[in-house]
Structure 1
């Protein structure tokens, strides 16, 4: 592995761990405060969801975050979390049109949407650089065993 390859592998490792941690925190919050997520589903999607559904989504996300942190089943784990985040971004697009809006107390009301967009860009970069993600279980398996399905 060249110095260039090590630098790319390190960059994708940092990106992968940061994104998996970000998504894990959102999944953990679904377990800690499930009623908040029921309210978000009602507000943004017009759906009434049961607590068990919130917990199920959180569990699936935690499994995917763990796989992503390890770099296992990369197309599945990276892709699924990227699609979940893209769904979140698509539901909140109005905030992108007014990123500097503040409420009566001077609080920036659309800053989470701006953060969401940056995270989406990071997901796109990680998916595009998946072949450079050598410091991962999938990268190690494909290098060691030639097992392309781990990629």
Structure 2
């Protein structure tokens, strides 16, 4: 059985960037869907929310990732542990999305709530599989690649 190993800060950062690309794309599409269903279609709002979310949540994701590194270090890798990590991220991320959406849309109303709730479900699945995929990538690959670039 495989156990969690200490990941480098580079790996956490690259993992965060890859997640933010997936998650921000989802956010823009969810905002577009929800605003269109409310007869207020706005790609511009989706892009604004996505842009702010990308950078803000990248920092939050990195901190979340490093905390979970400490919690899971040395433990067996299981789907249940991935599920707990996914749930904790969704609580933080969905709350953040609601706040960002409300601020951009100038109202903390049903639309901001629907955006947050819709992405809670879409991103729950996306995050879980993103996490499982990164568990399959061998440690040290990013670090070795970056060392080669420096030479």
Give me the TM-score of the superposition, normalised by structure 1.
Answer: 0.33
Greater radius of gyration (CA): 1
If asked which structure has higher relative contact order (CA below 8 Å, sep 6+), I would say 2
Give me the TM-score of the superposition, normalised by structure 2.
Answer: 0.33
